[in-house]
Every structure is written in structure tokens, then in C-alpha cells.
């Protein structure tokens, strides 16, 4: 397994985003299916597993804790705080709330440790910026958790280069996690360069464009009611029609290289910079194995030029999030 540096950790060059095992793209899979994906990834050499207190409102951390607790020394465990489920109306229905207050972050960490069945979380991200709380206060709370031995390193998710620099001045930031792929180029505005300058790993989630770059034809009209892509403009109406027209040429490039479309997307990311670590998510073992095959793919300069010209911020139609999602994500916008 090829490795890359993430703070003090040497991790697999491709990690596993675990959200899909509990939420996001239709009905959750069975625990048995989730266990199979997790253990297959571990046996294949994946050593970075990424979860969050938000995913399945704790269910994802519970699954990882149950399945991987006996293998804890074999991998780097990442989770997130600052965006959790809260019973706002008192009716038992949890809604997503961004809360970066120090006391909330401490309580969230303690609950995550119990669900994950571990004494320490290796990398603990602030999931989204709480715009009512100075980032210095939120990072300061996590630095206290580092000193107490509850977490080892601190990360940020979907935040700007300016926020990264402010946070890094309080406590070293090990990683910035943001959506990045051929069809989501926002990190290229400022965050990628800031990470490089500060020695911060860049963890790319949704590296195959939420399935768009994975090769299998998507039919947005048939997405399940709880599929998060239903609220994303890129998968809607004329935007989707325009984006789908990019795929035949993209698949031809994959055939030219001799790899799968998903491998093409991941190989492109891996060759962008050494500090980039993609964490594709999947619910299927065959897709997991296909993703890891990207480590054996080397793209020529000519192919890289063709890819950049084909799928980029100018050729993709529609925003990556809806209006609320764009407000929640502080990453620089085109």
C-alpha cells in the first residue's frame, strides 16, 4: 500500500469515507454489509477510516467501534464534531445543527469515544464552522482534548484558507477535509496552497463526484427520497442534462488509459499533489476494490490536460450544494 503523511501519521494514500455505510444515498445498508466493507478495506491495507458524530446520528461511529475495535492499532481513526443531531422540537426527530461551542465539542467527543469503543481519536475535525463562535475558541477546546489525551490531532472541514491560518495559529492543524474532484475545484482557489504552505494534509471527500465520475449511469429521477443528491443542483433538470453530456468523452479517456472511470478520477487527484489524500466512500466491496486499483494507475501529461479541459468549474453546470449547504460550507466559492 502506498502511503502519504497526515500530521504524525503515515496513512494509506487512499482512505475510506465511511458515511455511506449509514446515510446519504438511500436506505442504510445492513450491518453485515457494512462490516464486510470495513474489514475488506482493512485487509487491503487501508489505514485511514473517516467517520463523524453526524453520520447516522451516531450509528456510523457505533458500527466502526463494533467492527474495528479489535483492530484499533492497525489504522488511523478520524471523526468529527461541531455538527450533530439535535431534538429541536422535542418530538424525537433529530435535525442537523452546527454548534462549535467548546462545551458542546467536549461532550460530543466523549460520546464519540464511547461509540467508537476507543480511548483516543487520532484525528478530530471540526465538521463545519460555527459562525457565532470564533474559530480560536473551538480549536482551543480541541487543544484541551489533545492535552487530556482524548484526541491526538486536530482537523478542519469545509473551511476557508483564512480560517485555516487562524486555527493553525492556535494549535497545529493536521488536516483540512473538503470536497475535491474533477467536478468540484473550489479548493484550488486558496485552500490547497494554504495547506501546502502550512504542512497540512488535504483530505478530499467525494473524490468521484458523488457517483458522477464512477462510471455507472446515474438516473437522478430514480434517487431514493432520502438521497442527499436530490437537493443538489448539479443533479437537477437542465444542469444534469448538461453534466451528463460530459460523460461519454470521460469514459473514452478511461478506456484510453485502460482503467475504470472511478480509477481515472482518483488517479487524477493522487497526481495533483503529494499532500492530497482521497477518501472515497462506498457500500460495496467490488467498488472498494476498484477504487483502490487507482493506486496502480499513472496518467500521462496528455491525459491530464484532456481531463482538466473536459471537466472543470467552467464546464460543470450547477452549484455543488443548495443555498443552505453553500452557506454552511465556508470553503471559497467560484
- What mean pLDDT comes out for the span 169-180? 98
Position 196 pLDDT exceeds 90: yes
Residue 148 pLDDT? 97
> What does the domain layout of the chain look like in residue ranges?
3-328
Question: Residue 150: left if φ>0, alpha if ψ -120 to 50, beta else—which one?
Answer: alpha
Q: Cβ neighbours of residue 299 under 8 Å, at least 6 residues apart?
A: 257, 264, 267, 268, 271, 307
Residue 321: active-site member: no
CA dihedral 221, 223, 224, 230 (to 10 degrees): -90
**Residue 206 main-chain phi, psi, to 5 deg:** 50, 50
User: Which CATH superfamily hosts domain 3-328?
Assistant: NADP-dependent oxidoreductase domain (3.20.20.100)
Are 75 and 55 in contact by the 8 Å Cβ rule? The answer is no
From 25, 55, 150, 180, the catalytic residue: 55
Identify whether the C-beta of residue 97 lies closer than 8 Å to the C-beta of residue 57. no
pTM: 0.95
**Which value, to the nearest 10 degrees, does the dihedral of the CA atoms of residues 103, 109, 112, 113 take?**
-130
Please provide residue 251's backbone torsions phi and psi, each rounded to the nearest 5 degrees: -65, -35
Write down the pLDDT at residue 334: 81
Please list, in sequence order, all residues whose beta carbon lies within 8 angstroms of the beta carbon of residue 250, skipping any fewer than 6 positions away: 213, 261, 264, 307, 310, 311
pLDDT confidence of residue 84: 84
Say if residue 276's pLDDT is above 90: yes
- The mean pLDDT value of the chain amounts to 95
CA distance 64 to 201: 23
Q: Residue 105's pLDDT band (boundaries 50, 70, 90)?
A: very high
Residue 63 has pLDDT above 80, yes or no: yes
Is the pLDDT reported for residue 90 higher than 90? no
| Distance, CA of 43 to CA of 17 (rounded, Å) | 16
Amino acid at each position: 500500500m502506498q502511503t502519504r503523511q497526515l500530521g504524525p501519521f503515515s496513512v494509506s494514500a487512499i482512505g475510506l469515507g465511511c458515511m455511506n455505510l449509514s446515510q446519504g444515498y438511500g436506505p442504510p445498508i445492513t450491518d453485515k454489509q457494512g462490516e464486510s466493507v470495513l474489514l475488506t478495506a482493512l485487509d487491503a491495507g487501508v489505514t485511514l477510516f473517516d467517520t463523524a458524530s453526524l453520520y447516522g446520528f451516531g450509528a456510523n461511529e457505533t458500527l466502526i467501534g463494533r467492527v474495528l475495535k479489535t483492530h484499533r492499532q492497525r489504522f488511523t481513526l478520524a471523526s468529527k464534531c461541531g455538527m450533530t443531531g439535535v431534538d429541536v422540537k422535542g418530538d424525537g426527530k433529530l435535525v442537523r445543527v452546527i454548534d462549535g461551542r467548546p462545551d458542546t465539542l467536549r461532550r460530543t467527543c466523549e460520546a464519540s469515544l464511547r461509540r467508537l469503543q476507543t480511548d483516543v481519536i487520532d484525528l478530530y475535525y471540526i465538521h463545519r464552522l460555527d459562525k457565532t463562535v470564533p474559530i480560536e475558541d473551538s480549536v482551543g477546546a480541541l487543544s484541551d482534548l489533545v492535552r487530556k489525551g482524548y484526541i491526538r490531532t486536530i482537523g478542519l472541514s469545509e473551511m476557508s484558507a483564512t480560517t485555516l491560518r487562524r486555527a493553525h495559529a492556535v494549535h497545529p492543524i493536521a488536516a483540512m477535509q473538503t470536497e475535491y474532484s474533477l467536478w468540484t475545484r473550489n479548493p484550488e482557489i486558496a485552500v490547497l496552497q494554504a495547506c501546502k504552505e502550512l504542512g497540512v494534509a488535504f483530505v478530499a471527500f467525494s473524490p468521484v463526484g458523488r457517483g458522477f465520475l464512477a462510471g455507472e449511469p446515474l438516473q437522478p429521477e430514480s434517487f431514493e427520497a432520502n438521497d442527499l443528491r436530490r437537493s443538489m443542483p448539479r443533479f437537477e433538470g437542465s444542469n444534469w442534462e448538461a453534466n451528463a453530456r460530459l460523460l461519454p468523452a470521460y469514459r473514452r479517456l478511461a478506456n484510453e488509459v485502460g482503467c475504470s472511470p472511478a480509477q481515472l478520477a482518483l488517479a487524477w487527484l493522487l497526481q495533483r499533489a503529494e499532500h492530497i489524500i482521497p477518501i472515497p466512500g462506498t457500500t460495496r466491496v467490488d467498488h472498494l476494490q476498484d477504487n483502490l486499483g487507482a493506486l496502480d494507475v499513472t496518467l500521462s501529461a496528455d491525459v491530464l490536460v484532456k481531463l482538466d479541459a473536459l471537466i472543470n468549474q467552467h464546464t460543470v453546470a450547477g452549484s455543488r450544494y443548495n443555498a443552505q449547504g453553500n452557506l454552511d460550507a465556508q470553503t471559497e466559492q467560484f
